[in-house]
Structures are given as structure tokens and as C-alpha cells.
Amino acid sequence: MSPTPIVTFEHARLAYGPRVLWEDLNLKVQPGEFLAVLGPNGSGKTSFVNTMLGTTALDSGSVSIAGAPVRRGSAQVGLIPQQRPFGDNVPLRARDLVALGIDGTKLGIRLARKQVHTRVDELLELVGASSYANRPVSDLSGGEQQRLRAAQALAGDPKVLLCDEPLLSLDLHHQQAISEVIHHQAVRRGSAVIFVTHEINPILPYVDRVLYLAQGRFHLGSVDEVMRSEVLTELYGAPVQVLRVNGRIVVLSGEANRVLPPDGHDHTQDEAAAAGARRDTGKQG
């Protein structure tokens, strides 16, 4: 008997005006599965995450979590966002930030404080942050802060862990550490992991399937099925070459064989512009 899917999309379609991000998407993500979501800026990766958070509505079709319609604030959904620095002098310690992810009312009234403290300690140890548990978050490095965001997202033991480019701007060491923590949640706790990224190589050992969004279309399958020259060439409508080099995936555009990230898009010129556009419009790709 097959396990009940944690995330289910049925004939899902999302568009902003005449621009279709994706349509007729049928997807079931199983317990313990690690799904990587790739694609260029504006392809609908973050919007895909937002439909599961209940902050973006589909134009048609449906999305459900553990068999129930998506709703905002569901404890079954955890989110690790992009790494963003905290402002100076934020009056929160590391453990305080993690505790914000715990609903103390579920732990009982009399023992809530003690149980929350114990749970925070467990989460800090899980993500390797115990050594700076009492330091102000504004004094921590980007990688240290991102470990705390991971701990906060895991606090409710979610059925699905949504990761919206959580490795962005982190060095290789911290990328590996965060990826390992997220993979641990899938393997040990049976959560589904949906991991949006512009660089698949740090998570390559953990990925079960890839959902590649581009040009209003998508391709779904294993890494070997999706990360192929003919597949990306078809998605982009332009020549793309995919190579395997020393265990890493390298994507080359047909234009002067320029090396691109494995999402097939050159981010060097448009990341700042895309970020500005998202702030202006309130929409994310």
C-alpha cells in the first residue's frame, strides 16, 4: 500500500495576467522525499512555495497538504527562507528566535516554560547552534543565523519543510551544514522537503526528484532525467548543454558556451533588478 502523499497538486495553474508561470501541474510529494525546484528568475519558484503556504492562490486546480486544503499558518508546514541579515541591536538571543517557532499553548500551561526550554535546547543541538544559544542574533554570522531559521522551521515538526533558496549567500561550509540538517528532517522524521535553489550541487547527494520551471513550462523527474541537455534545450527553446564534471553538474548556454548555474540562468546581472522588482510589485518568482 502506497503512503499518503504529503503534498498534492492536481491540474494546478498559476499566472500573473497573461503570463503563465505553470499549468496542468500534477505532483505528489511523498513522506521523506526531497524535491529540488529549479528555474530562472521569474519562472514561479517562490510563487510555487507560496501556494503551499496559502499566501498565493492558484488560478485553477488544487493543492493540498496531508489531504487537507492549504491554509495560512498551518503547523504542518515549515519554512526556511532566504538568508537575510538581522538589523543591529535586535533584542533577541539565538534561543529566543528558535522559541518563536514553538507554540507553548500546545505544551500545557503549568509546564510550558520548562518544556519549551527543553525543546529549544534539542533544536539548537540538532542544527549545531548550541554553542551560541545565548548570543544576540545580530552578532551572529549569516550561516549561524540560517541555522537558527532552520531550527525555528523544524520546531513544530512539520510534515512538509519548504526551503526558499536557504543557501543563498552562504559559504560552502554553511551550505553543506544546512543541507545536511534539512536532509536529516526528511530521512529521520519522514517530512517532505521542497527545496527551491539556483544551485543544485550542494544538495545533489540528497535530491530524489527535480521540478524544473522555465518559460511557462515544467519538467519533473529524477536528476538524471531532468538535468539533460535535450530536456533543458526544450524547456528554454534555445541550445543548452549539461555536463557532469567531478561529480558536479555544469550547465552551458549555447551562446559562447557560457557557464551558467545548474538552473540554466545567468544571475550575475539580474539578481539585483529582480529583487527590486519584487519589492516594487510584491510578487516573487
Residue pLDDT, tens place only, 136-152: 998 998 888 889 999 99
Give the residue numbers spanning the domain of 115.
84-157
SS3 of 163-228: EECCCCCCCHHHHHHHHHHHHHHHHHHCCEEEEECCCCHHHCCCCCEEEEEECCEEEEECHHHHCC
- Let me know if residue 270 belongs to a domain: no
**CA 118 to each of CA 121, 163, 197: distance values in angstroms, whole numbers, following the listed order:** 5, 25, 32
**CA 63 to each of CA 33, 95, 162, 226, 271: distance values in angstroms, whole numbers, following the listed order:** 17, 34, 14, 23, 29
Residue pLDDT, tens place only, 90-105: 788 999 999 988 864 4
- Let me know if residue 172 belongs to a domain: no
- Let me know if residue 131 belongs to a domain: yes
- Let me know if residue 120 belongs to a domain: yes
Number of domains in the chain: 1
Q: Are 80 and 164 in contact (CB under 8 A)?
A: yes
- Let me know if residue 211 belongs to a domain: no
- Let me know if residue 143 belongs to a domain: yes
- Let me know if residue 109 belongs to a domain: yes
- Let me know if residue 73 belongs to a domain: no
Distance CA 116, CA 136 (A): 19
Residue pLDDT, tens place only, 44-77: 999 999 999 999 999 999 999 999 999 998 889 9
What does the block give as the cell for 242? 549539461
